Amino acid sequence: MAGPSTKTCAACGRRLAPSELYYRFTLVLQGEQDVLDGGGRGTGDELATLMQQLEQGPEDPREWEEQIHWERKGVICSACRSVVMRTLDRPPGDDGPH
């Protein structure tokens, strides 16, 4: 009977021993925008023009998609968990780096 598979930390790349504590994660980043820039009212013609510009542009459609929806799953070690928690759990009233 085979034992548990070896896991690798998605953040630091370290191989995790089967007896070592690890954390599963799912991270989803979704782009949102409440108001489009520009003076237009979002008419059908304006939207069709925008779509045409996007379709004819040099960018790969996958790049556009990843700017709107990016998702990753994996496992991380205890040390990397601490870094992630510090990064995502900022103190109340702190507006962050941006």
Q: How far is CA 74 from the centre of its chain?
A: 13
pLDDT score for 52: 82
Q: pTM value?
A: 0.63
Residue with tokens 């009212």: 41
Q: Please tell me the predicted confidence (pLDDT) of residue 12.
A: 97
Which two structure tokens, joined as six digits, stand for 32?
Answer: 């949102």
Amino acid in position 94: D
- Give yes or no for a contact between 13 and 77, defined as CB atoms under 8 angstroms apart: no
What's the half-sphere exposure (Cβ side, CA atoms, 13 Å) at 9? 20
Q: Which residue has the higher pLDDT, 36 or 82?
A: 82
| Predicted pLDDT of residue 49 | 82
pLDDT of residue 18: 93
Residue 66's CB is within 10 A of a number of other CB atoms, namely: 13
pLDDT > 70? residue 17? yes
C-alpha to C-alpha distance for 17 and 49, rounded to whole angstroms: 54
Position 41 scores a pLDDT of: 61
Instruction: Please write the tens of the pLDDT for every residue from 42-79.
Output: 567 877 887 787 778 777 777 878 788 999 999 999 99
